[in-house]
Amino acid sequence: MSKTIKWEYSPAPEGTDHIKLKKQYELFIDGKFVAPNSGNYFKTINPSNEKMIAKVAEADKTDVDKAVKSAKNAYEKVWSKMPAKERGKYIFRIARLLQERAREFSVIETMDGGKPIRESRDVDVPLAAAHFFYHAGWADKLEYAFPGRKANPLGVVGQIIPWNFPLLMAAWKLAPALATGNTVVLKPAETTPLTAMKLAEIIQEADLPPGVVNIVTGAGKTGQAIVNHANIKKIAFTGSTDVGKYIMKAVAGSGKKYTLELGGKAANIIFEDAAIDQAVEGIIDAIFFNQGHVCCAGSRLYVQEGISDEVISKLRNRMETLIVGDPLDKNTDIGAINSKMQLKKIESYVKMGTKEGGSIFQSSCSLPNKGFWHAPTIFTDVSQSNRIVQEEIFGPVLAIQTFRTVDEVIAKANNSPYGLSGGVWTDKGSKIFKVTKDIRAGVIWANTFNKFDPASPFGGYKESGVGSEGGIEGLSGYVDLG
């Protein structure tokens, strides 16, 4: 193996002096910040140092009911009656305010969730603003999105989001719902509620009529109260397949609509004719980006046999240069794992991979003492039936296999309960067409990975979900077409 060159960088942490955080966050209901019915608060911590950042209100059934009442009232009296052009103006205002405060949002996202500042600054926050801009534009043009049909809003929608892209997922949910004339009760994840609460401040500043957006914090029970509320017309959920299945059962027969964006186990396929150095960067991006806390992460790698030694050797070298550490440092590639629970889950899969007979390689980086950390990890000598090949780990762990023919790799890629995303690296357009046509996945990137655009729908097949978000397909999940 060739020798790896390592660079040392001077620390370059992003400042935190410009951010405004309260010690305690209340629920955002009817345009105001209000204390929870139970008087209970939970802590949100910074997973890179385990320090508490703030206390956050825990919403119970009564609070959720209050939020739904407010959303219903706002829907009936204000939002559904407002000219679409006016609705659009509010959404544009939210987008602009978010852009103005991008730096503050990036820092808070990184503190609360553990992801590197480079990602929250360059991916999460700009994409969140882009989603509001994109959907603001649709608000008064729905007749062009659905020609010859009338797009009627649904009413109050309940939205539940995970911790891996907290602000971005809030934007994916709120923007299309508001553009189509619905009102909302949104629940962020327990470990990452802060940017949603900051967004509530922006929504207040944008003068959105009270009740159009309500944000209730809490854990799974709060989510259940939303799912089961009789006056909610649609549930939009992003999270694990297990909770997705629970939601499907809970809403069955209720007449509620639902869209579910669930887990994944994407195949990233490298053919012999690919540009290898680019592909290696693509592999790194696909699985180590955001600590592998990505539903569409390229967590299964398939390398064509003739180049496997070269690819794996280059991959190991590149892994050695990845910087794991302070998420607020601009040089950091891999930040903290979101929670202790998630770290334990990843560690148990790594143990399982070794037990199943896989050969493990981890970069020799040193990990900080405090906080939750995991070194970038790859497994070779694994087979299709291994649990680390079949199950979603949601961490920086890659399972590598080889293949000989196009048909073989398509069969292997499809041998998964999931069907969310995938990647293909090759010089030949014909192979790209063949693979993207025959692999059952919602999105397959060619010679790149993890690229998003608000105009492009995102969603999965099989256990990866129901429905799409983004683009016209995403809008259609929030309307009844007359």
Q: State residue 464 phi and psi, 5-degree precision.
A: -90, -5
Q: In the numeric block, which tokens belong to residue 200?
A: 């509530």
Rounded Cα distance, 224 and 239, in Å: 13
Binding region for ligand NAP (CB under 6 A) out of 74-82, 223-231, 278-286, 383-391? 223-231
Q: Name which of Mg ion, ligand NAP, none residue 443 binds, using a CB cut-off of 5 to 8 Å depending on partner kind.
A: none
Complex with ligand NAP: residue 280 or 334, whichever CB lies closer: 334
Here's the x/- map for ligand NAP, 294-313, by CB under 6 A: it reads as -x------------------
Task: Decide if 292 contacts 284 (C-beta within 8 A).
Answer: no
Residue 453 CB, nearest approach to Mg ion (Å):
28
Counting contacts by CB under 6 A, is residue 163 touching ligand NAP? yes
Which H/E stretch holds residue 24?
Answer: strand 24-25
Q: Is 164 in the site for Mg ion (CB under 5 A)?
A: no
Among 99, 231, 240, 448, binds ligand NAP (CB under 6 A): 240
Long-range contact pairs involving 308-315 (C-beta distance under 8 Å, separation at least 24) = 308/400, 308/402, 310/276, 311/270, 311/276, 311/279, 311/280, 311/283, 312/378, 312/380, 312/400, 313/1, 313/2, 314/276, 314/277, 314/280, 315/280, 315/283, 315/284, 315/378
Asked whether the beta carbons of 85 and 137 are under 8 A apart, the reply is no
> What residues from 319 to 378 belong to the interface with ligand NAP (CB under 6 A)?
none
Whether the CB-CB separation of 180 and 475 falls below 8 Å is answered with yes
Which of ligand NAP, Mg ion, none is residue 282 near (CB under 5 to 8 Å by kind)?
Answer: none
- Which of 131, 187, 229, 234 lies at the binding interface for ligand NAP (CB under 6 A)? 187
Q: Which residue type, as a one-letter code, is found at position 146?
A: F
Nearer to Mg ion, 44 or 120 (CB): 44
Options 120, 164, 182, 191; binder of Mg ion; rule CB under 5 A: 191
- Of 14, 109, 261, 469, the active-site residue reads 261
Residue closer to ligand NAP, measured from CB, 136 or 186? 186
> Measured between alpha carbons, how far is residue 61 from residues 16, 122, 184 in Å?
36, 37, 16
Least CB distance from residue 229 to ligand NAP, whole Å? 11
* 3-state SS string for 331-393: CCCECCCCCHHHHHHHHHHHHHHHHCCCEEEECCCCCCCCCCCCCCEEEECCCCCCHHHHCCC
Shortest distance in whole angstroms from residue 21 CB to Mg ion: 12
Q: Is residue 124 a contact point for ligand NAP (CB under 6 A)?
A: no
* Interaction pattern, residues 242-281, with ligand NAP; x per rule: CB under 6 A: -x--x--------------xxxx-----------------
Residue 261 is a catalytic residue = yes
Distance of closest approach, residue 147 Cβ to ligand NAP, in angstroms: 28
Beta bridge partners of 46: 51
Per the structure block, which two tokens stand in for 374? 């995991």
Give the DSSP H or E segment for 240: none
Measured from the CB atom, is 241 or 339 closer to Mg ion?
Answer: 339
Comparing CB distances to ligand NAP, the nearer of 316 and 462 is 462
Please name the residue ranges forming H helices in 83-219. 84-100, 102-113, 117-119, 125-138, 142-145, 166-179, 194-205
Report which residue type is found at 280: V
Question: Does the footprint of ligand NAP cover residue 162 (CB under 6 A)?
Answer: yes
Report 102-121 residues binding Mg ion (CB under 5 A).
112
Look at residue 238 and give the partner it binds from ligand NAP, Mg ion, none, a contact being a CB closer than 5 to 8 Å depending on partner kind: ligand NAP
Nearer to ligand NAP, 285 or 329 (CB): 285
Q: Is 295 a catalytic residue?
A: yes
β-strand pairing of 213-215 with 183-187: parallel
Minimum distance of ligand NAP from residue 263's CB (angstroms): 3
Would you count residue 394 as binding ligand NAP (CB under 6 A)? yes
The nearer residue to ligand NAP, 432 or 443, going by C-beta atoms, is 443
Q: For ligand NAP, which is the closer residue by CB, 31 or 264?
A: 264
Task: State the binding partner of 219 from Mg ion, ligand NAP, none, CB within 5 to 8 A by kind.
Answer: ligand NAP
In whole angstroms, how far apart are CA 289 and each of 246, 293, 480?
Answer: 29, 8, 37
Q: Which of 58, 295, 365, 469 is catalytic?
A: 295
224 binds ligand NAP (CB under 6 A): yes
- What mask of x and - would describe binding to Mg ion in positions 19 to 58, judged by CB under 5 A? -------------------------x--------------
Task: Report the phi/psi class of residue 31: left, alpha or beta, with left for phi > 0 and alpha for psi in -120 to 50.
Answer: left
**CB 419, CB 438: distance < 8 Å:** no
For residue 464, give both structure tokens. Answer: 């990866």
Q: Which residues contact 384 (CB under 8 A, 6 or more apart)?
A: 390, 401, 412, 415
* Residues 416-445 close enough to bind ligand NAP by CB under 6 A: 420
Stretch that binds ligand NAP, among 35-43, 80-88, 117-125, 237-245 (CB under 6 A): 237-245
CA atoms of 104 and 409, how far apart (whole Å):
44
Q: Please report, as ranges, the residues that interact with Mg ion according to CB under 5 A.
A: 44, 112, 191
Q: Please report, as ranges, the residues that interact with ligand NAP according to CB under 6 A.
A: 160-164, 187, 189-190, 219-220, 223-224, 227, 238-240, 243, 246, 261-264, 295, 392, 394, 420, 460, 465
Q: Known catalytic residues?
A: 261, 295
